[in-house]
Every structure is written in structure tokens, then in C-alpha cells.
Amino acid sequence: MPHETLSSIAVVVIAATVAPMFSDRLGRWIAIPSVVLEILFGVLIGSQVLGWAREDEIVGFLADFGLAMLMFLAGYELKLSEVRGKPMRLAALGWLVSLVLGLGFGALVHGFTQATLILGLALTTTALGTTLPMVRDAGLLDTPLGTRVLAVGALGEFGPIVAVALLLNDQNPVRTLLFLGAFGVVAARALWVASNRRPAGLSRLIRTTLGTSVQFAVRLCVLVVVLMVWLADGLGLDMLLGAFVAGLVVRLFLDAGDPDEGEVVESKIEAFGFGFLVPFFFVVSGMRFDLRALLDQPSAFALVPLFLVLFLVVRGLPVLVLHRRDLPARPRRSLALLGSAALPMVVVITTIGTETHQLPTSTASALVGAAMLSVLIFPLVALRGSRA
């Protein structure tokens, strides 16, 4: 490995390690999520400020795999048995309304162009993988609010992923639809197999290697992620679709076994993901952030507060209206705020837009900047309101 690459990895890991320390110290005055500091430190160590770390092929691969792991963990947290029925129906309807609103606002900014589609999809996303740990740490995951956060967040992640695969793909749309159907068949089969009772030999191997260097259960989970990501990418679909479905498969597989074993494996998977790969993605996302494009154009900088409000309108307003009979006012407002926080898929969609030259770099930077603020502000207000 080139020494420059190793140096960049070391700096990224240092930034990822220092971020929660700063978050903990700042928590005395203001609760700043570690993920926001990870992105800010990424901007600081990147080529546009200090130049201590640079993205090459290896660093980029680790960051992309970190994003896949984030989507995997988001899918893993989604318990289908808890969100099926009304919570999922309301979440699906809310996302469709958000899609219409997002495309409408996109048309106002860019007219009827490809940029409209990119902007509209970015506004419909939800940062489930980012906000879910905060909800869980607040002890709200097993409440009615937590169940609806899962449903709204899942649609806010899964809906844009599918839309990106269908609408922002350079392949023939019919071919993409067929490939998406083929992937759906494989995914459904995998989910069915995972939900069934395990063979005795497989259960024994998982149980006997939990505390050894073999760690078969963890290897099996990683295999599912890699295979589903490989399949999605091979079919010309977004790899995040494969990662999200892999999370669903692993959740069903672990739920079909011994609960105590499932908790142990879950802790190991989260340690692997949240301990290294996921923060690596967020730090590198900060390195990719085009700060100069935002600062050099005052008009682009002015878009940041506008996009922040649009996240609330496009995602939060439908949630607030549709759940008016389902939740009391205070948790409903918290749900709307948590559903309005967006970041990972905003980064993905705007990257596609800038790489295909369909979205101006300044607009993409303004969107990502607003998404960073949404993850900083909305969950903080939502969780305070839920405890009031």
C-alpha cells in the first residue's frame, strides 16, 4: 500500500476517533451528533483546507463500503413484523407525497430538467442510519414513536434508492425494471430462507464459534452483505439497494435463532460497522464536500437555509398531516422532525448529479450543507420535544 494512502487512512481514522470526544465535551452546552463533527473534520483535513488527507482509489473504496454498511445497518434495524400494516402504509403514502412536492420544488429551482429529478429525489430522503442510533440511545425505539420512525425512515432510504436505480440509471429503463424485478425475486427468496428455522449444524457452528477466532456468524453476515451488493451492482442497480436488503435478511436470520446469540452477533456487527466503516464514510464525505463552490457563490450559500426549510416541508409536512390520527401532537412533531433529517442519500444523489454534470456543484454543496444542518438541528429539537 502506498505510504500516502496509509497516511490519509491514518488521518481519517484519527478524525473519526476525535469526533465523538469533541461531541462528548460539547454536550455540556449543545448536543452535536458525532456524525456532523466527522463531516466537518473531513472538510478540515481535506484538500480544500489543511490538505492532510487525500482520497484515492483505496480511501474511496473504504468510504463507499462504509456507506454500504450504513445502509445495511439501517435495513437491519427495520423489524418488518413491527412496522407492517398501518405504519408502513402511512410511511409509503407520505413518501409518495414527498416525491411530488420534491419534484415540484425542483422544477421551481431548475425548470423541467434532469437536475429537477436529482434535486427532487434528494429532498425526499431520510437519514435513518444517522438518526436511529439517537432514537435508540434516547430509549424511544420500542415506543409507538420509534416504530413510526423506523417506517418513515425506511421509506425515506429505500424509496430514493429504488428511484435512483430506475430514474438516474444510464441503462434502458425497461432493462433496469427487469433487472430490478430479478433482484426482487432473489431478495424475496433470501428473506424467506432467512426467516425459516436454521439447520441444526448451522446453529451449532454459530453457537460454538461466537467466542473464538472463527466468528462464523459475523463472517456469514459479511458474506450476505457482499453477495447482495455484488448482485445489485452486477444487475446495474445501486449497491445501496443490495446493502439495505442484506440488512433485512440478516435481521430475519438472527431473529430465527436464539435471542441471546442474536444480541451477541448484533453487537459485533455494530462494532465493525459503527466502529470503523461508517465513520470512515462520513469523514471522507467531508473531504469530498466542495466548500469553495459554496463560499465563492453567495447565491448558492443562500440556498442552504432554503433547502433546510424544504426538507421540513417536503418530508416533515406530509408526516405531520398523515399521522394526525395516529400519534398525539408532541410525538407527531418529533416524528416529522426526525423524518426531515437527511444526509447519506443526499450525498449519494448529489454525487451522481455532479459526476453526470446534471447538477451544478454549488447547488450540490448547498444541499449537502443543508443536510448536515438538518442532522444537527432536527433530531436535537425532536428528542427534546419527545421528553418534554
Measured from the Cβ of residue 47, the count of other Cβ atoms closer than 10 Å reads: 12
- Measure the CA–CA gap between 16 and 284, rounded to whole angstroms: 10
Tell me what pLDDT residue 275 has: 85
Counting Cα atoms < 13 Å in the Cβ hemisphere of 193 gives: 11
Q: Is the pLDDT of residue 388 over 60?
A: no
Q: Report, as an integer, the average pLDDT of 220-248.
A: 85
Structural domain boundaries of the chain?
Answer: 3-387
C-alpha grid cell, residue 16 = 473519526
Q: Give which of 351, 349, 345 is closest to 375, Cα–Cα.
A: 345
**Cβ(231)–Cβ(152) under 8 Å?**
no
pLDDT digits (tens, 9 = 90+) for 349-369: 888 788 777 778 888 888 888
Q: What is the pLDDT of residues 269-302, one digit of tens each?
A: 888 888 888 889 889 888 887 777 777 777 778 8
* pLDDT tens digits, 305-330: 888 999 999 998 998 888 888 788 88
What contacts 45, CB < 8 A, 6 or more positions away? 11, 12, 15, 52, 53, 283, 286, 287
Give residue for cell 413510526: 148
What are the distances in angstroms from CA 166 to CA 62, 92, 123, 177, 361?
Answer: 26, 17, 17, 7, 23
CATH 1.10.2020.10 fits 3-387, yes or no: no
pLDDT score for 109: 66
Q: Is the pLDDT of residue 207 over 70?
A: yes
Per residue in 49-93, pLDDT tens? 888 988 888 888 888 888 888 888 877 877 766 667 788 888 888
pLDDT in tens, 152-172: 888 887 788 777 777 666 666
pLDDT number for residue 170: 61
Q: In whole angstroms, give the CA distance from residue 261 to residue 207.
A: 7
Per-residue pLDDT at 387 exceeds 60: no
Q: What is the pLDDT of residue 88?
A: 84
In this prediction, residue 354 carries a pLDDT of 81
| pLDDT tier, 111 (very low <50, low <70, confident <90, very high otherwise) | low
Q: What is the C-alpha separation between 343 and 172, in angstroms, rounded?
A: 29
pLDDT of residue 176: 73
Three-class secondary structure of residue 124 per DSSP: coil
For 90, how many CA atoms within 13 A lie in the half-sphere containing its CB? 26
Q: Work out the angle between the directed axes of helices 278-288 and 3-26 (0-180°, nearest 10).
A: 100
Give the pLDDT of residue 11.
Answer: 92
For 338, residues 6+ apart whose C-beta sits below 8 A from its C-beta are 126, 131, 135, 149, 152, 153, 378, 379, 382
Q: What is the pTM of this model?
A: 0.80
Average pLDDT over residues 238-267: 82
pLDDT value of residue 14: 93
